[in-house]
């Protein structure tokens, strides 16, 4: 009986500790495992922000967005890899920021049509998506 309750208490403690760790040590939520809430083209998303930023903010902020567009440039700086989705003739586009290790930059090239999933942070000169992952067909 004593043995049983010891096992029970240990199990309960372990579950509780696991729960605490989950809540307090959640790091870098894996966007790749979550499904996109919105699917949209890079140009359409950018235009929505350019024409009415307030309403675009309420529609897209913090949402996981799957955006499809043409790679305009790829840049690596410090701890971020930035893939810029923009048509050549457009002024603004979508800035997709990847954490290192979440993308192989050799797998994409300028001019290629790609799909990227990320969390929308808002609009400065471009629409900003963070914690991105590359979507394979």
Match 């410090």 to its residue by tokens: 78
> Taking CB under 8 A as the rule, does residue 23 contact another protein?
yes
Match 């729960």 to its residue by tokens: 19
> Taking CB under 8 A as the rule, does residue 122 contact another protein?
yes
Which residue from 2, 4, 5, 28 is in contact with another protein, where contact means CB under 8 A?
28
Nearer to another protein (CB atom), residue 4 or residue 23: 23
Measure the CA dihedral 35/41/45/48, to 10°.
-130
> Taking CB under 8 A as the rule, does residue 33 contact another protein?
no
> Taking CB under 8 A as the rule, does residue 88 contact another protein?
no
Picking from 48, 70, 47, the residue whose alpha carbon sits closest to that of residue 58 is 48
């Amino acid at each position: 009986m004593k043995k049983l309750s010891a096992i029970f208490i240990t199990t309960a403690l372990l579950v509780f500790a696991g729960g605490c760790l989950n809540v307090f040590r959640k790091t870098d939520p894996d966007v790749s495992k979550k499904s996109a809430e919105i699917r949209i083209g890079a140009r359409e998303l950018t235009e929505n922000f350019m024409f009415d930023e307030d309403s675009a903010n309420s529609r897209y902020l913090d949402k996981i967005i799957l955006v499809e567009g043409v790679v305009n440039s790829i840049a690596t700086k410090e701890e971020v890899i930035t893939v810029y989705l923009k048509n050549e003739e457009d002024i603004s586009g979508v800035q997709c920021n990847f954490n290192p290790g979440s993308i192989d930059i050799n797998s994409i090239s300028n001019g290629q049509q790609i799909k990227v999933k990320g969390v929308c942070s808002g609009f400065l000169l471009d629409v900003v998506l963070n914690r991105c992952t590359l979507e394979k067909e």
